[in-house]
Amino acid sequence: MSLQLPPVLGSQPLILSQHHSLAAGDVLQTSFPLDSALSAARVNVLFSGADVTATLTQQNQVLAWDQCLTQDESTLCYTLLTGSAFVEGDYQLVTTNNGEQSALLQTQVMGYHNKSAVMIGLSTEQGEAGYLYPQPLVLTVAVQGDYPLTQVHVRAEVTDPLGKVHHVVLNDDGLHGDRLASDGFYAQQFHYQMNGEYRVKFEVDNRDGSAATTLEGLLFEPTIDGTFPPFEPEIINENFMRTESARFIVADFAPDDHGDNNACTIVLADNRDYDGRIDNAQDSDCFVVDTSKVLPPISLRLTDVWDLPAAKVSLYCDNAELDSESYQFTHATGIAFAVTPEICPSQKFRIEVRSAEDHHTPFTYQISAGETLHGDFPLAMLPTSGSAEITLALLWAMGTALS
């Protein structure tokens, strides 16, 4: 885009910041509050790629744009809400793509502080942090005016790598990864489920008018007589709202069912690799694969086994066990089975992986299933379900079977 949104200065709270790709004919509705801690606000809408209309309303009244600028197929519309045009409350922004192609859309709302109002700021430890599974991820926000503020509402919208939005409530009770109860530091653990980049939007509001200053957890020098100056919490009854954005990246994630074989990870029979990880002797992973839509022969593989584990691998058809064996693996090795409709008429298989030792270090591996690939060839024929007529082909095993 040739035109750009104006920069956000430290004295301008960012109320809203969004980036969207708007398909032809799509309508996007966004709402945001402007509160008593502000004296003015600026609303910016920047789009390119198609004809887009943007309508801003407050209490069902349509507000006019101050100006719309166009340059190199980009258009920037903005309005400055100040004086009598600035009204506290909720605003709605509706953008519609009237063109036949997708449009790139950016929306931004900046506030300007009321000089008589308390200055509210947010800070987060997320920034652009990276997390390696199974490292826990705790969302954190510090809320502060002249002093830290407690008794406010703090929430986060976490958008995962697939675009799904997760809503998380942060607490200041000393029990959810925050430091101390009522110290103005809010936190909550977030359980990520995949590798990739996550985007977070934090929102803080004082809709109850109960925000209060606090000195909990702060260190002060005593006065000359050894006492500390008195402190009375100040109640902040302004209905403010503040936002802050962050992102983080997760790597080395592996599905882990924590011994619950009723919550198995679904494996698609398309030969893609699914990461697995066994963390301790009591841990187990469970995978389910439906091969009914894939033409035989079909291979089920456990590959790229690292950290020299002794692992027990069990293969089931529905709830009937086909094979269960313990293997001592060397670096980057694994096993594979060939399966046919004769072995399992439903063609729905369950694979369980667990430790074959009482004590061991965590190990990782990969699971895949799909049409037989070059290099998948029979190594042994194993009887299944006690029947000599139906056999399971062990395609290859680069690991030693333990008796």
User: What CATH code is carried by the domain that includes residue 109?
Assistant: 2.60.120.380
Residue 10 binned pLDDT confidence (cut-offs 50, 70, 90): low
Residue 237 CA to residue 240 CA, distance in Å, equals 9
CA angle 150, 156, 160 (to 5 degrees): 160
| pLDDT surpasses 90 at 43 | yes
Q: Are residues 105 and 128 in the same domain?
A: no
- For residue 233, what is the DSSP state? P
Q: What is the pLDDT of residues 269-301, one digit of tens each?
A: 888 888 888 877 778 888 888 888 888 778 888
The highest-confidence range among 14-18, 150-154, 212-216, by mean pLDDT, is 150-154
- Per-residue model confidence (pLDDT) at position 168: 93
Residue 360 CA to residue 387 CA, distance in Å, equals 35
Q: Are residues 212 and 278 in the same domain?
A: no
Region 366-382: mean pLDDT is 70
Residue 385 CA to residue 337 CA, distance in Å, equals 16
- Per-residue model confidence (pLDDT) at position 387: 40
Q: Which of 113, 133, 153 is the last residue of a domain?
A: 113
* SS3 assignment, position 32: strand
Q: Are residues 295 and 382 in the same domain?
A: yes
Q: Are residues 300 and 378 in the same domain?
A: yes
The highest-confidence range among 13-22, 161-170, 295-304, by mean pLDDT, is 161-170
Region 153-171: mean pLDDT is 92
Q: Are residues 144 and 244 in the same domain?
A: yes
Is 4 within a domain? no
Report the candidate in 56, 32, 201, 54 with the shortest Cα–Cα distance to residue 109: 32
Q: What is the pLDDT of residues 100-109, one digit of tens each?
A: 999 999 999 9
Region 115-120: mean pLDDT is 54
Q: Are residues 107 and 139 in the same domain?
A: no
Q: Are residues 69 and 150 in the same domain?
A: no
The upper half-sphere exposure of residue 345, i.e. CA atoms within 13 Å in the direction of its Cβ, equals 0
Q: Whole domain around residue 154: which residue ranges?
A: 121-251
Q: Are residues 211 and 90 in the same domain?
A: no
- Residue pair 30/17 in contact (Cβ under 8 Å)? The answer is no
Residue 74 CA to residue 4 CA, distance in Å, equals 9
- Per-residue model confidence (pLDDT) at position 1: 43
Is 8 within a domain? no
Dihedral angle, C-alpha 148, 151, 153, 159, nearest 10 °:
50
Q: Are residues 125 and 158 in the same domain?
A: yes
- Per-residue model confidence (pLDDT) at position 98: 93
Residue 56 binned pLDDT confidence (cut-offs 50, 70, 90): very high
How many distinct structural domains can be found in the chain? 3
pLDDT above 70 coverage of the chain, percent: 78
Q: Are residues 233 and 351 in the same domain?
A: no
- Per-residue model confidence (pLDDT) at position 366: 84
CATH assignment of the domain containing 125: 2.60.40.2550
Calculate the alpha carbon distances from 276 to 134, 148, 310, 332 in Å.
12, 43, 15, 13
| pLDDT surpasses 80 at 118 | no
| pLDDT surpasses 60 at 59 | yes
Is 372 within a domain? yes
Residue 213 CA to residue 118 CA, distance in Å, equals 11
Q: Which of 64, 94, 113 is the last residue of a domain?
A: 113
- Per-residue model confidence (pLDDT) at position 389: 40
Region 65-80: mean pLDDT is 90
| pLDDT surpasses 60 at 381 | no
- Per-residue model confidence (pLDDT) at position 403: 46
Q: Are residues 237 and 280 in the same domain?
A: no
Structural tokens at position 197 = 């980049």
Query: H or E stretch including 199?
Result: strand 196-205
| pLDDT surpasses 80 at 4 | no
- Per-residue model confidence (pLDDT) at position 274: 83
- Bridge partners of 397, per DSSP, are 335
Is 257 within a domain? no
For residue 243, count other CB atoms closer than 10 A to its CB.
19
CA-based end-to-end distance of the chain: 66
Name, in order, each residue with C-beta under 8 angstroms of 337's C-beta and a sequence gap of 6 or more. Answer: 299, 300, 301, 315, 323, 392, 393, 394, 395
- Per-residue model confidence (pLDDT) at position 216: 80
Sort strands 103-113 and 380-384 into parallel, antiparallel or unpaired: unpaired
| pLDDT surpasses 60 at 164 | yes
